[in-house]
Amino acid sequence: MSKTISIIQQKGGVGKTTLAVNLAYYFAKQQNLRVAMADADPQGSLTVMKDFLTGIDLISVEAATAERDPDRYDLTFIDTSPRNDVRLAQIIRFSDFILLPVRPGYLDMMSMRDSETIIANNQKMPYRAAIVFTQVQHRNRVGEEAKELIKERFSIPAMEPSLGMRVAYQRSFYSEGVYNSDDLKAREEIESVAVELFRMMQ
Ligand SMILES: Nc1ncnc2c1ncn2[C@@H]1O[C@H](COP(=O)(O)OP(=O)(O)OP(=O)(O)O)[C@@H](O)[C@H]1O
Ligand SMILES: [Mg+2]
């Protein structure tokens, strides 16, 4: 197995890097898979944290999208920027699966439109992609309404598991993901998203 998964959303701060890093750590540390990450964000949050990444190789986007290397990596995660730069189309075409983190809110829904168009231009239906709701605040009616609208309006399926708004995710960059945190809910969320990702990738 050698799969490439890209995290894409045309909006800043929704949690792309957080989702990418936590899934990468989950598969590397919990599942003992060989995991690489590539940073397609010119601002380079991942590149900045290169020294913190343990047990995960940081490779170039060029290497990540040149060919799959089953001898080296089981999984490669490509983190992208909220801008539609030249590499995004190539990344989408190369990837086995795309995750689209979205906060359940109206403004974030607008960015989904742009992301869906870019995916539609570079993949055939049914899309190898899924929406992941992030920074979900419980007992928030606006959030629940936005979730329903997003599910209705877009042709990309939304995953059932989601990530809540949790301090553990804010800390996770420096602590091998929520894997090492004592926030059990955050660990369960990442595991559920990971399991669902594998199910959908089949
Ligand atoms: N589920 C969450 N709960 C709480 N805080 C979160 C969560 N996800 C992300 N954050 C916080 O939100 C901020 C933005 O997250 P992140 O950098 O992952 O977003 P991004 O989509 O990669 O942003 P950019 O588009 O700028 O690359 C960070 O401070 C991060 O710690
Ligand atoms: Mg980022």
3-state secondary structure 122-152: HCCCCCCEEEEECCECCCCHHHHHHHHHHHH
Kindly list the strands in the beta sheet with 129-133, ordered across the sheet, starting from the edge strand earlier in the chain. 57-59, 35-39, 75-79, 3-7, 97-102, 129-133
pLDDT of residue 1: 86
If one counts the domains in the chain, the total is 1
pLDDT of residue 180: 84
pLDDT of residue 9: 97
pLDDT by position in tens, the chain (length 202): 899 999 999 999 999 999 999 999 999 999 999 999 999 987 777 777 777 888 999 999 999 999 888 899 999 999 999 988 889 999 999 999 999 999 999 889 889 999 999 999 999 999 999 999 999 998 788 888 988 999 999 999 999 999 999 999 999 887 889 988 899 999 999 999 999 999 999 9
Ligand 1 atom, smallest distance to 21 CA: 18
DSSP-based three-state secondary structure for 70? coil
Tokens 């990450």 map to which residue? 37
| Cα(41) to centroid(ligand 2), Å | 7
pLDDT of residue 67: 87
> Which ligand minimizes its atom distance to the CA of 186?
1
pLDDT of residue 14: 96
- 124 — phi, psi (to 5°)? -95, 155
User: Would you say the CB of residue 108 lies under 6 angstroms from ligand 1?
Assistant: no
pLDDT of residue 142: 86
Give the domain CATH number at 9: 3.40.50.300
pLDDT of residue 44: 75
Using CA atoms, how far apart are residues 35 and 14, in angstroms rounded to an integer? Answer: 23
| Cα(10) to centroid(ligand 2), Å | 11
User: Would you say the CB of residue 163 lies under 6 angstroms from ligand 1?
Assistant: yes
Range of the structural domain that residue 28 is part of: 3-201
pLDDT of residue 61: 94
Q: Give yes or no for a contact between 80 and 8, defined as CB atoms under 8 angstroms apart.
A: yes
- Name residues with Cβ closer than 5 Å to ligand 2, which is an ion: 16-17, 45
User: Would you say the CB of residue 49 lies under 6 angstroms from ligand 1?
Assistant: no
User: Would you say the CB of residue 103 lies under 6 angstroms from ligand 1?
Assistant: no
